[in-house]
Amino acid sequence: MKRLLSLLLSLCMLVVPLTARAEWLYEQESGETPESLILATEAELWQNASVPTAADGLDIQAKGAVLMELSTGTLLYEQDSHTPMPIASVTKIMTLLLIFEAIENGRLTLEDVVTCSGTAAAYGGSQIWLEEGEQMTVHELLKAIAVVSANDACAMMAEHLSGSVDAFVAQMNARAEQLGMTDTHFKDCCGLDDTAVSSAADVAVMTRELLRHQAVTNYTTIWMDTLRDGQSQLVNTNKLVRYYKGATGMKTGTTSGAGYCLSATAERDGVAMCAVVLGSDTTDHRFAGARQLLDYGFANYTVYTPSVDVGQMEPVPVLRGVERQVALTVRPMEPLLLKKGEESLVGYRVTLAKNVEAPVLEGQTLGKVEVLLGETAVATYPILAASAVERMTVGKAFSRLLIALLGGH
């Protein structure tokens, strides 16, 4: 099988008309080659690797690492999680976040055409070799950023959205502050500057925020694609996208100062995880670390969304109200992160007011429902009045009596 894949890859490289600019494009600093990315022989070992049942069984060879369950934001593993360090092209997660937020608020569309400036064309590192005056759509530039970590494409989008790269970076830092990323300070829009810092915990936070824009996975799950009518061949440096079940992204990064970095996301059976590995000494160690973290998370944890049937709750009697009782409602409950097997321990304890005096406001708290794990309450939600009930007055009472005497209802 390996020989067949290698032969197919060689044939592809011969058939595709290549120029100095139209070679296979990928994250150049990654230490990979198109062949090593496509064959990824080490991925065979991932399928048979043992999965630790306890976090202390993990062997993460990195300067910083975390595992976050994404629906709750809970950190399941931390290793120097708040130590500031350079993160290389993992920086582009924030760049992608600002782009998708601009799309969501209507400032940008995927069909918008962007023109490359001389400044953007001059960016070094990983790139798609954009030329000054060259035009691409936002859709094409997102492919370039997400798949091959193109610094020139990042600069092009930064200038398009904010007028200059410096102005865009200021927005990146402002957004990081809004998200509570206290270990982070960006210096550029792409991660070339190794004096910029973030942390494993902060990277998980911005990754989680980016994934709120589900359309981003249309790009971060691309394994191979093309630009320029097929002349530029793209291959993703994140091998997990091709070889890890449920992978949804997210971003690799490599520089001499940052080492080998990765924010890896995956979803299985409704459970979404993010593994961040920063400062590994080899590309194999970053992928092995992320795979271990994800495997550990999926093997040991599940997400359970509690719910109660308010239809089974007796309405609360209303004293001196125009209605004798008020129906109840409970807002949707947040998902709970549980260890596998704990689902059967989930229960509920309902506490309701015996009655309430009018007037009753819609949304007024009339009790609570506690979500129990065994005997322990792990979440509490208010039980609310589903509608308002006015207070009965003499005039309203007389009107009702008159209607009843006249045969009304």
Q: How far apart are CA 92 and CA 87, in angstroms?
A: 10
Helices (H), 224-337: 240-243, 283-300
If you write DSSP's letter for every residue of 3-15 in order, what string do you get? Answer: HHHHHHHHHHHHH
SS3 203: helix
Burial class (CB in 10 A: 0-12, 13-18, 19+), 380: exposed
Decide if 239 is catalytic.
no
> Catalytic pick from 89, 198, 232, 263?
89
Give the end-to-end CA distance of the chain in Å, rounded to a whole number: 81
Decide if 232 is catalytic.
no
- Torsion sign, CA atoms 35, 261, 251, 248: positive
Residue 60: alpha-carbon gap to chain centroid: 22
Q: How far apart are CA 161 and CA 12, in angstroms?
A: 37
Closest residue by Cα to residue 8 from 50, 39, 31, 53: 39
Burial class (CB in 10 A: 0-12, 13-18, 19+), 270: exposed
- Identify any residues that bridge with 68 across adjacent strands, giving them in sequence order: 75, 274
> Catalytic pick from 149, 162, 199, 280?
149
Q: How far apart are CA 276 and CA 204, in angstroms?
A: 7
- Residue 261 tokens, joined: 């970095």
- Torsion sign, CA atoms 107, 113, 119, 120: positive
Decide if 162 is catalytic.
no
Residue 134 dihedral angles phi and psi, to the nearest 5°: -70, 145
Residues identified as active-site:
89, 92, 149
